[in-house]
Amino acid sequence: MTSSKLFRFRHGLSIPLADIPRLDFDEFSTSLLEEIADAGRVANYFGRPVAEGVELYAILAHDWKGEFAVLRTSVKDRFPSLTPQLPQLHLFERELAEQFGLRPEGHPWLKPVRFHKTWIDSSDIWGRDTAKHPVPGDMDFYRVEGEEIHEVAVGPVHAGVIEPGHFRFQCHGEEVMHLEISLGYQHRGIEQLLSGGPHPTSSYQIETSAGDTTIGHMTAYAQILESLSGTDAPPRAYAIRAIALELERLANHVGDIGALAGDVGFLPTASFCGRLRGDYLNLTAELCGSRFGRGLVRPGGVGFDLDTKLSQYLLDRLKTLEGETRGAIDLCFDSPSVLARFEGTGKVKIEDAEALGLVGVAARACGLVRDARLHHPFGVWEKGFDAPVIEIDGDVFARGNVRRREIFASLKLLGQLIRQLPEGPVASSLGGLAGDCLAVSLCEGWRGEIVHAAITSATGQIERYKIVDPSFHNWSGLALALRGQQISDFPLCNKSFNLSYCGFDL
Amino acid sequence: MLTIIRERLRQGHRTGKFPKQEPVLPARFRGAPHIQPGLCQSGCDQCLSACPFSAVQLIDGKPHLDLGRCLFCADCTVCSHGAISFTNDYRLAASKRDDLLTSETEHRLASALDGQMKRLFGRSLKLRQVSAGGCNACEADLNVLGTLVFDLGRFGIQFVASPRHADGLLITGPVTENMRSALLETYAAIPEPKLVIASGACAIGGGPFITSTETHGGVGDLLPVDLYIPGCPPHPYTALDGLLRLLGRR
């Protein structure tokens, strides 16, 4: 279409910055909108401070072509917001405003995202005192007014053992008219810690950017460093990463179905799945000593090998666990009282899911075919992954059922992966990183696609590292799912999305 | 109903025998370190330079491992003389910050509360949990304590929804600036006398985020801590063992 203005690539490749044309903002925005109209979507969008202002990079995914396009422009203090035409950009633009003091003019929802000071010496666009750390949650919330309208505010500290976030419901009686979600409480400044790297500490910070997605985020990070250094991880390492990724998916999906059952008071599945989740975590611990896969994925390969004895043990355990998991899950999905609560609750329409750029389980439950293993394969997935799980109703049931079907797909995949483990080493040594390059990497974590992007300096240091956790796209989906629901349905809707607070807050 | 009962019989009784019976942990699980300074060669600092978080320290020329900073990554075991290795021992919790500094001879585990406090909390301990920047792995493995394998309730310990119902605060995460006031307010809302438990490397000393300007490097400077549970994240048995030690039940 507008190929001269765009650089197209498959992920896993590093692109010299010199090859990416610099567009003026009008060209940038026109090409961006054209690309989106041509079945593209925004996978990543971020700024990098340069001498003359801030450079913006838009990484657009064309799923069915299996390729990405990158657009680059630079702006100074302000730029016309594209959010009104492209709602999926709303958080990315708010992020730019918060990080670099840029004003996206005409943004309908311009509020802070993570409540931190600007990263560069610039004014705060909300007029807050730049000498002090901003107060989290200090912003104007959307408010519905009228008789019988009331507001319910929850958090940041919630009732359970979970991460903090603040939720405001505008209610008419029991009915939720609008839910606004304000996060940022977990903000640890990960992207800034990564700049100037790779540091010896970087892998540990990536592993804990979202602790329940350690393998997903680490795989994306390892791929970035491998691509920038021109290293090929050995096939055996790719296979072990894929095994760990599927184990992570299994543990979380099984846990989520248990939690969904618990939220509608169906205790047998809740109890069985709570235990089974631990059994899957223990398999990851057999692999690398840590239930969350800490230390397993490392740039260049993996830290632990899988020998024949352990492979056989995993296969045996998975066989037993498959039977127990099926029994535990089917119990709940065969139960009319459970289905009555799941079906039709928290619906998200496919048009809305597309407009918001939802990814992962939440997108697939609305009928969107989005699975990085299918569209943007790497390593073992290149041999062919043809089983994305799609549901069309977009309700709690659909999100639960995507998980249920993915559990059994994962178990099947795991069997194949373990049996067909390639021979050879599990790690290659990593060279220095190429200078002045952009690398983008993708990994289908259990929640959805994880997109990492890095730009290196002339000397091969990471100058800007940008992480997009699937939760970044999907929290808005939860807000939308709640519209017109009973406020008592919130826990159920929330569990059906099960989004990460820390993955969003970074 | 019949299917539920049939499935219940098939899934069986799963509550673990802990603490009467020791748990079996995976062979690759990294627990308490085993330090042998006798094997150290002079001038060698492989373990020091291998640790990205300065958990390995040389005191009087002998290596010590600060379990409060340690992420149990075992990078320090690159030592070509084999002076540091990790055992399968999950028991790590300590009562004082200094007790986490482990040497060849010393690895002091948590002691029980004093008489009065033990009388108050020994048989019923209700905890409010606050995630103050945790990555959700600590939180997830604490949640696991409520599942039927660990069954925290049988020890009289429970996580409660309100600080007003709680006897203590269990904190995870390095305490982000954005969670500082919510954490302190939750602490203030718990009636006296109260306990504070720091669970995980982040809450003890900042963990992987120790150098971040957005975090406080753990709970230590903000609140008095009664129990430290090391790990990244701590294994559920490490946490359970720590809690039971605190109550004088191990």
pLDDT at A2 over 80: no
pLDDT at A3 over 60: no
Share of chain B above pLDDT 70, in %: 100
Rg, Å, chain A Cα set: 22
Task: Name the closest residue on chain B to residue A329, using Cα atoms.
Answer: B7
Contact B232 A208 (CB under 8 A): yes
pLDDT at A1 over 60: no
Chain A interface includes B208 (CB < 8 A): yes
Looking at per-residue pLDDT, the higher value among A383 and A398 belongs to A398
Looking at CA atoms only, how far is residue B231 from chain A in angstroms? 10
The DSSP letter of residue A87 is: G
> What integer best gives the mean pLDDT of chain B?
91
Residue carrying the six token digits 């909390």: B121
Q: What is the pLDDT of residue A11?
A: 67
Q: What is the pLDDT of residue A4?
A: 59
Share of chain A above pLDDT 90, in %: 81
Chain A interface includes B171 (CB < 8 A): no
Identify all chain A residues contacting B148, using CB atoms and an 8 Å cutoff.
271, 274-275
Lowest mean pLDDT among A47-51, A293-297, B13-17, B74-78: B74-78
pLDDT at A383 over 80: no
- A139 class by beta-carbon count within 10 Å (0-12 exposed, 13-18 middle, 19+ buried): middle
Span A454-475, pLDDT tens digits: 999 999 999 999 999 999 999 9
Q: What is the pLDDT of residue A356?
A: 93
Span B186-227, pLDDT tens digits: 999 999 999 999 999 999 999 999 999 999 999 988 999 999
The DSSP letter of residue A348 is: -
Span A100-119, pLDDT tens digits: 999 999 999 899 999 999 99
pLDDT at A387 over 80: no
CA-closest candidate to residue B181, choices B222, B227, B210, B143: B222
Looking at CA atoms only, how far is residue B191 from chain A in angstroms? 17
Q: What is the pLDDT of residue A425?
A: 93
End-to-end CA distance of chain B, in Å? 40
Span A228-248, pLDDT tens digits: 999 989 999 999 999 999 999
pLDDT at A296 over 80: yes
Nearest-by-Cβ selection for A502 from B10, B27, B135: B135
